[in-house]
């Protein structure tokens, strides 16, 4: 459900606020590709991230276990063998953490297309990046001078984040999707990615063989977008239609990234849910005048208004589930 986000605890893709929190951010980014929205602050607390030493693989493994995942270490000494193992995990939609830049920084690799790797690097802005294999190899390579200063062995350590749960919801990032999210006009979508995902998981489902005639979000919006946009714009009266359309496009982008669909039997409820979500967003952006003797103050401010809108959504859902006579 929608919630208020603070600058220190935002729910999507954004740069790490301190030098020592790259580990929690890397694990957070791995989790979101598995359909789990986890806050970096929660990971840091579980991992006991330290301002001086950061987060090593032992601490990250502890945090991963608390979120029902295993951090599986694989060590290679040959660059090509390391690349093959990394690609194998990515083809299976298993995100991989790499400790790069002489073991000083954690990044998350979430996909591969040809020789290009899709990387989430919380030191960068935007954090969603694309590395060629030579670029990634140069950052990944570690020369273990502690073992031998004269002839240090070359190490390539990868840490696969393997879920213990059956994850039917997995992100399918691509070069085009990464480029789309890097555009300045889509910064807000990247920043609040987890909010979109959490709300979509209440409305949509991963595809299943048991599901009859499911609708993609694109098809759902083709059928219902005009109704949602026109009615919300009409009743609020002070919102640009194109702003609403952009939010709906964001929902579609996230839904398509995870391959989510809407069961045919749930389309009426989904339409009600989307209308309520868009209404809540419009009120958050533009505000609302007093209605029927009630104002934001009368219902307990924005939080009270959110509670009232949630109750309204529940009532609409009950109506939508009633069988037609």
Kindly report the number of other CB atoms within 10 A of residue 263's CB atom.
Answer: 18
Question: What count of other Cβ atoms lies within 10 Å of the Cβ of residue 198?
Answer: 16
26 shares its domain with 145: yes
Residue 16 lies inside a defined structural domain of this protein: no
Number of H helices, E strands in the chain: 12, 9
Instruction: Give residue 242's pLDDT.
Output: 94
Report the 10 Å Cβ neighbour count for 319: 11
Residue 230 lies in domain: 204-321
- For 177, phi then psi, to 5°, come to -70, -40
Contact status, residue 211 vs residue 253, Cβ threshold 8 Å: no
- Dihedral (C-alpha) 141, 124, 39, 47: value to the nearest 10 degrees? 40
The answer to whether position 315 is within a domain reads: yes
Greatest alpha-carbon pair distance for the chain in Å reads 83
Do the domain assignments include residue 9? no
Does one domain contain both 230 and 123?
no
Asked if residue 307 is part of any domain, the answer here is yes
Phi, psi torsion values for 31, nearest 5 degrees: -65, -40
Domain count, the chain: 2
The secondary element (H helix, E strand) that includes residue 87 is helix 79-91
Residue 291's pLDDT is what?
Answer: 73
Q: Which residues of 130-160 are buried (b: 16+ CB within 10 A; e: fewer)?
A: bbebeebbebbebeeeeeeeeeeeebbbbbb
- My answer on whether 165 and 225 are in the same domain is no
Question: How far is Cα 319 from Cα 325, in angstroms, rounded to an integer?
Answer: 13
Has this prediction a pTM greater than 0.95? no
Is 192 contained in some domain? no
Q: What is the DSSP string of 239-272?
A: S-HHHHHHHHHHHHHHHHHHT-EE-GGGHHHHHH
Say whether both 141 and 226 belong to one domain. no
DSSP strand E in the chain: where? 69-76, 96-100, 105-113, 116-120, 128-132, 142-143, 154-163, 215-216, 261-262
Q: pLDDT tens digits, the chain, 325 residues: what are they?
A: 444 444 444 579 999 988 889 999 999 999 999 999 888 888 999 888 877 777 889 999 999 999 999 999 999 999 999 999 999 999 999 999 999 999 999 999 999 999 999 999 999 999 999 999 999 999 999 998 888 888 899 999 999 999 998 878 999 999 999 999 999 999 999 999 999 999 999 999 998 877 788 999 999 999 999 999 999 999 888 889 999 999 999 999 999 999 999 999 899 999 999 999 999 999 888 877 777 766 655 555 555 556 666 666 666 555 555 555 5
The dihedral sign for the CA sequence 143, 144, 145, 148: negative
Write the CATH number for 52: 3.90.70.10
Has residue 196 been placed in a domain?
A: no
3-state secondary structure of 307: helix
Q: Are 202 and 273 in contact (CB under 8 A)?
A: yes
């Amino acid at each position: 459900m929608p919630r208020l986000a603070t600058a220190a605890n935002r729910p999507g893709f954004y740069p790490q606020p301190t030098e020592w929190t790259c580990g929690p951010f890397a694990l957070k980014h791995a989790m979101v590709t598995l359909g789990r929205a986890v806050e970096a602050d929660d990971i840091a607390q579980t991992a006991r991230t330290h301002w001086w030493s950061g987060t090593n693989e032992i601490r990250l493994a502890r945090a991963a276990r608390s979120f029902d995942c295993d951090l599986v270490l694989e060590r290679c000494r040959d660059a090509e063998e390391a690349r093959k193992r990394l690609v194998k995990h990515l083809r299976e939609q298993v995100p991989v953490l790499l400790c790069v830049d002489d073991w000083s920084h954690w990044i998350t690799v979430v996909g591969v297309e040809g020789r290009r790797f899709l990387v989430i690097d919380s030191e960068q802005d935007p954090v969603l990046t694309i590395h060629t294999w030579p670029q990634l190899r140069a950052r990944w390579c570690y020369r273990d001078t502690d073992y031998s200063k004269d002839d240090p062995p070359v190490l390539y350590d990868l840490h696969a984040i393997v879920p213990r749960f059956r994850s039917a919801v997995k992100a399918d990032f691509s070069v085009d999707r990464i480029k789309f999210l890097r555009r300045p006009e889509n910064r807000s979508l990247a920043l609040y990615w987890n909010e979109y995902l959490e709300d979509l998981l209440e409305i949509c489902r991963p595809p299943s063989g048991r599901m009859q005639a499911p609708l993609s979000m694109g098809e759902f919006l083709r059928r219902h977008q005009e109704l949602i946009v026109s009615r919300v714009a009409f009743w609020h009266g002070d919102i640009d239609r194109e702003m609403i359309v952009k939010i709906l496009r964001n929902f579609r982008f996230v839904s398509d990234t995870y391959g989510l669909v809407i069961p045919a039997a749930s389309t009426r409820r989904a339409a009600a849910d989307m209308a309520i979500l868009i209404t809540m967003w419009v009120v958050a952006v533009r505000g609302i005048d007093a209605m029927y003797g009630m104002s934001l103050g009368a219902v307990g401010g924005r939080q009270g208004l959110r509670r009232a809108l949630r109750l309204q959504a529940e009532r609409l859902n009950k109506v939508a589930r009633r069988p037609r006579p």
